[in-house]
Structure 1
Amino acid sequence: MEGTLFGVGVGPGDPDLMTYKAVETIERCQVLAVPARGKEHAVSYKIAAGKVKHIEEKECLNLDTPMTKDRQMLEENYKKAAEKIINELKKGKDVAYLTLGDPTVYSTYIYIHRIVKEKGYHVEIINGIPSFCASLARLGDSLADRCEQLHIIPSSYAITEALEYPGTKVLMKSASKLGEVKEELVRNHREAEVKMVENCGMPEEHIYENIDEIPETAGYYTLLVVKEPKK
Structure 2
Amino acid sequence: MSGIFTGAGVGPGDPELMTLKAVRAIEECSVIAIPVSDSTLVAPVYEQAGSEDGRNAAYLERCVAYQIAAGASPETTEKDRIYLPMPMIKEKERLKAIHDQDAAAVAKLLDEDKNVVFLTLGDPTVYSTCMYVHKRLKRAGYTTQIIPGIPSFCAAAARMDIPLVENRQELHVLPASYDIEESLNLPGTKVLMKAGRKMGEVKRLLGEKEIDAVMVENCGMKNEKIYSGAQEIPEQAGYYSLLVVKEKQTGGRER
Partners of 1:121 and 1:167 lie apart in 2 by 40
Give the alignment partner of residue 194 of structure 1, picking from 213, 228, 233.
Answer: 213
Please give the per-residue CA displacement for 1:81-105, whole angstroms capped at 9, x wherever unaligned: 1011111101100000000000000
TM-score (norm 1): 0.97
Alignment of 1:54-203 (within 5 A): 54-188=75-209, 190=210, 192-203=211-222
- State the partner residue of 2:20: 20
Q: Judge conservation of contact 2:2–2:114 (CA < 8 Å) in 1.
A: yes
Partners of 1:63 and 1:39 lie apart in 2 by 12
Partners of 2:248 and 2:204 lie apart in 1 by 19
Partners of 2:233 and 2:61 lie apart in 1 by 30
Q: CA deviation at 1:55?
A: 1.7
Partners of 1:39 and 1:5 lie apart in 2 by 20
TM-score (norm 2): 0.88
Q: CA deviation at 1:230?
A: 1.7
Q: Judge conservation of contact 2:206–2:212 (CA < 8 Å) in 1.
A: no
Please state whether the residue corresponding to 1:114 is helix, strand or coil.
helix
Q: CA deviation at 1:155?
A: 0.7
Partners of 1:54 and 1:66 lie apart in 2 by 27
Unaligned runs of at least 5 residues, structure 1:
none
Please state whether the residue corresponding to 1:215 is helix, strand or coil.
coil
Partners of 1:169 and 1:29 lie apart in 2 by 37
What is the one-letter code of the residue matched to 2:7? G
Unaligned runs of at least 5 residues, structure 2:
42-58, 251-255
Partners of 1:171 and 1:208 lie apart in 2 by 14
Matched, 1:4 2:23: no
Q: CA deviation at 1:63?
A: 0.7
- State the partner residue of 1:43: 64
Q: CA deviation at 1:115?
A: 0.3
In the alignment of these two chains, the number of paired residues is 229
Q: CA deviation at 1:67?
A: 1.2
What is the one-letter code of the residue matched to 1:151? H
- State the partner residue of 2:242: 223
Matched, 1:209 2:209: no
Partners of 1:18 and 1:64 lie apart in 2 by 24
Q: Percent identity?
A: 50
Q: Judge conservation of contact 1:39–1:60 (CA < 8 Å) in 2.
A: no
Q: Judge conservation of contact 1:103–1:128 (CA < 8 Å) in 2.
A: yes
Q: CA deviation at 1:54?
A: 2.4
